[in-house]
Amino acid sequence: MSHPTPTRPQRGGTLALRLGQSSVAARIEGEVRVSAAEFVDSVAQARLKAAAVRYKVEDEVRNTAGKLKTRVSAAKAKLGDEARFIKSWIDDPGRTGSVTPSGPFLARAMAAQVDPARAGKVIEIGPGTGPVTEALIARGIDEARLILVEYSPEFCTLLRKRFPRATVVEGDAYALSTTLAGHLDDKASAVVSSLPLFNQPPARRSALAKDAFSLLAEGAPLIQFTYSVISPVPRKGSGLTASVSDWVLRNIPPARVWVYRKAG
């Protein structure tokens, strides 16, 4: 008696055919296809989100790096100015009078005493590295109106680089009329001084004020800061009126601004 040879299931075809076209197999196959499609879609979405996050992080890193670079540059400039002041003070403490430039709050307090609408040049004596000069420009004084009188050749070079439209005169502010000969066509609208007056005897301080007022228009001010509690320009017999600001406590050390005018 012969036995029929068993037939092997055919290879290939869909999963439903291999499982005998059962409805369960067809449903499984459909679910697998849907799940695979959803998986591919979720992977694509995840990649898009990752790219967006990476772009945002990179953008924030670039912005942060730019801000840090700006701050570092500003810090280097500040440290450079302070180093120049220290060197100048070591070379000639009687003329420099301070190991640091005026702080921004003091500089603004001084510049606030100058009226930008008043015609005439503004003379700044003892500008150093230019913090008060910057405050005067921010106040609205055209840079071309500024005459900067500085004794230090190094500071003069720096000032010409930083304020190319200003007139920088290398010379002695204690002989102001002589130093500015040929630089001033008309009376000035203000003299702003950062000189360390208390390093000089009273007679020389009085002479400086008298010389400054010979260059000033009627009613124009001489502006001077000091760390002291008393007037840096001797008042007795000066023929000047004076007012003084509150202490600028955010300057180190705290300072006040004196404003002098000829008595009417």
Residues 142 and 248 reside in one and the same domain: yes
Q: Give the residue, 198 or 50, on which the prediction is more confident.
A: 198
Same domain, 39 and 79: yes
DSSP 3-state assignment of 122? Answer: strand
* DSSP β-bridge partners for residue 194: none
- The number of residues in the chain equals 264
Query: Rounded to a whole number, what is the distance in angstroms from the first to the last CA of the chain?
Result: 147
pLDDT of residue 36: 65
Task: Give 122: exposed, middle or buried? Use CB within 10 Å, 0-12, 13-18, 19+.
Answer: buried
On the question of pLDDT at 76 being above 80, the answer is no
Residues 206-244 pLDDT 10s:
999 999 999 999 999 999 999 999 999 999 999 999 999
Nearest to 221 by CA among 196, 241, 204: 241
6: in domain: no
Do 159 and 175 reside in the same domain of the chain? yes
Q: How confident is the model at residue 26 (pLDDT cuts 50, 70, 90)?
A: low
Whether the predicted pLDDT of 17 surpasses 50: yes
The pLDDT score that the predictor gives to residue 102 is 76
The rounded mean pLDDT for the chain is 83
- Separation of alpha carbons 78 and 111, rounded Å: 20
CB 75 within 8 A of CB 167: no
Does 7 fall in a domain?
no
Which of 91, 110, 128 is the C-terminal boundary of a domain?
91
Tokens of 218: 């009627």
Bridge partners, 257 (sequence order): 225
- pLDDT score at 50: 72
Which of 76, 91, 106 lies at the terminal end of a domain, its last residue? 91
Domain boundary, last residue among 42, 61, 91: 91
Please state which of the ranges 33-47, 99-113, 222-236 shows the lowest mean pLDDT. Answer: 33-47
| Same domain, residue pair 105 and 181 | yes
As a whole-number percent, the residues of the chain with pLDDT over 90 amount to: 60
DSSP 199: G
Give the number of domains in the chain: 2
- 74 and 103 fall within a common domain: no
Taking residues 108-127, report their average pLDDT.
Answer: 97
Tell me if 4 is assigned to some domain.
Answer: no
156 and 71 in one domain?
no
Model confidence at 97, pLDDT cuts 50, 70, 90, reads: very low
pLDDT in tens, 124-166: 999 999 999 999 999 999 999 999 999 999 999 999 999 999 9
What pLDDT does residue 146 have?
A: 98
The range of the structural domain enclosing residue 64 comes to: 19-91
Is 148 in the same domain as 228?
A: yes
The dihedral through the CA atoms of 97, 100, 105, 111 has a sign that is positive
| pLDDT for 89 beyond 70 | no
Regarding whether 121 and 212 lie in a shared domain, the answer is: yes
Q: What is the mean pLDDT of residues 98-103?
A: 63
Are the CB atoms for 149 and 173 separated by under 8 Å? yes
pLDDT average, residue stretch 39-61:
71
Query: What's the pLDDT at 139?
Result: 98
pLDDT at 54: 72
29-43, 115-129, 137-151: the lowest-pLDDT one: 29-43
For 97, other C-beta atoms within 10 Å of its C-beta total 20
